[in-house]
Chain A
């Protein structure tokens, strides 16, 4: 199925590139064909048609904004796959309130304007009961004012403390994720107390989440009276880390705290190990992610990472989902996918409790949910921010993230 889709896509793109050379008449044709093809190969495409009128018997619509296209489209691939799984799963088990659910996906484009437009388009559809925001604190903060306006239950995937503040002051926005504050603190605790390391370097992407995590690492270290010997920031898309590594070497430290996304993480690890720097690396969630491990290969061994999710999780619900994902799509199931699974399940749960699809009722129902067992962890939505409880500290051994410590954090207040 997937292969076919991809081959078709290639054929299409080439066909259209060629058609571009021909005259306008070709334009109409090629566009229309590709549209239909898109609809055929992309179930969600038909779902995006928001012109259907409301009806009690029709499916319950849940919105999902994610980055399908453009620079951050990795997130979207996982999200839309996961959305399909959870949609089928719920519907095959009798749906919610006896009705099927339908997940309407809009593309956040990886820009503020894109995120807001996508969100508002979903919110404008009266049938949509709740919306899952995209996997970026920036996007979630960007939409927060629209959330106030739209008065519809919205779950944010971002993990930054800033988002937590905003969520706590916004009754409609829930941050269904452990705030980095708790997780980063836990990793520092582990490195200092259980590994007994004294001096650290911090290397981080200046992009929002990573910059935040770096700040939190520093703050947590301060509680042990440790100030990082050197802090080395870099911009997203950095390919050559020699100057960064040089600074770390000069500082000569016991351990490295690192915060960035998959590609940068993998490149950083590879270049570190290539220079025979075997220092322990304590990384943000990306460092324990299958994508990073797949890229970095052996270089990812003996890397510690604080994350909420590993594909080989012990949590039965998570394990089942992870297995299903891999079976359907071939790749290992990443955090972004599991997150969508939990968000949608939680929303369905809220709808069940509310017993209606009235937006206000669903929102109130959400606020009553406490220690709900999801695929990633348990959730406590009694306050809007920092709802995901617990996390994991994993060590990568033979390219497999192995849990060395399970965390259950109290809510950050």
Chain B
């Protein structure tokens, strides 16, 4: 039954995808550089939120250190490009792999902790990292931060405008999203979900919790690292003001709002929150108040997240339909 409905959806989805692609190509030509920057930042946050999806949505581990990892990625890029003078691609790779490694090692230490003890450790990690970001002059430029990080460039192509950067980021986002799909279908992805749903059963099926969780943390680190690299290239200025505990909580809010069941949830959550931030601007003094209350209400109305709620509705609809047809047959 569902199979049939899904197959019905297929062409629709295809059309939607095509529209999305064409749309996204023309966006830069129709929007202001302000909106474009908002979109760029939003897509970068999307990468970070995906990292939360891998860790929380797939592997069931909740971390408050994602913004910290994002920062690590950014500062790696800044240092590799400015102090060592390497080209963008190498810096990008360094950020991605470096942050992944960083996360993997920490994961190996932290994931000896079960349940929410890991979450506590991650809060600690975040605090430690933000302390370093603010005060480690040699690497992070202290509170003043690092300015004039070079633009993103490959060979002759230099992404020095908002729109060119837009395409770079969107390409990375698309690639990463596809990789997510692969991960979801892979044995590794399944072992993540096995741990999420029942760690002991997972062990009895030959899944090594410590290693698997650490890998999950490493992957989320890689995502944050990539996001950080892009952020450094995009804004050209890094300071402790960006990589805060609040930012980490924002990522959690985004994924929870969108729904932890699929990357689509990450997309929806990120865009709703990021754009909400900008939409409520006209409220001036009141914007944060409304924003906060908005988060509460959304959470109360959709505790499973928008995707989760949507899925439930869809299934109910399917069941209803099935029931009806069954009755028809029985008559």
Contact = CB atoms under 8 A, between A and B. Distances in A.
Q: How many residues of A sit at the interface, in one of the four size bands?
A: 35 or more
B235 A145 contact: yes
A20 B235 CA distance: 37
A13 interface: yes
B293 A20 contact: yes
B312 interface: no
Contacts of B297: 19-20, 24, 26-27
A68 B285 contact: yes
27 contacts: A20-B300, A26-B297, A27-B294, A27-B301, A31-B293, A42-B285, A45-B285, A80-B284, A105-B284, A107-B287, A111-B244, A112-B239, A121-B278, A124-B35, A138-B241, A141-B147, A141-B239, A142-B237, A144-B147, A149-B162, A150-B33, A166-B147, A206-B135, A207-B143, A233-B135, A235-B131, A235-B135
Interface size class of B (residues with CB under 8 A): 35 or more
A142 B281 CA distance: 20
Given A111-B241, A124-B32, A208 B284 contact: no
A38 B285 contact: yes
Contacts of A80: 284-285
A20 B236 CA distance: 40
Given A17-B293, A120-B37, A69 B285 contact: yes
B34 A121 contact: yes
A106 B31 CA distance: 19
Given A48-B281, A141-B237, A235-B134, A124 B286 contact: no
Contact of B296 (A20, A42, A113, A208): A20
Nearest to B130: A235
B23 interface: no
B227 to A, nearest CB: 13
A138 B282 contact: no
A13 B278 CA distance: 21
Nearest to A47: B284
Contacts of A144: 147, 237
Contacts of A68: 284-285, 287
B142 to A, nearest CB: 6
B134 to A, nearest CB: 6
B41 interface: yes
Contacts of B134: 206-207, 235
Contact of A142 (B239, B284, B285, B296): B239
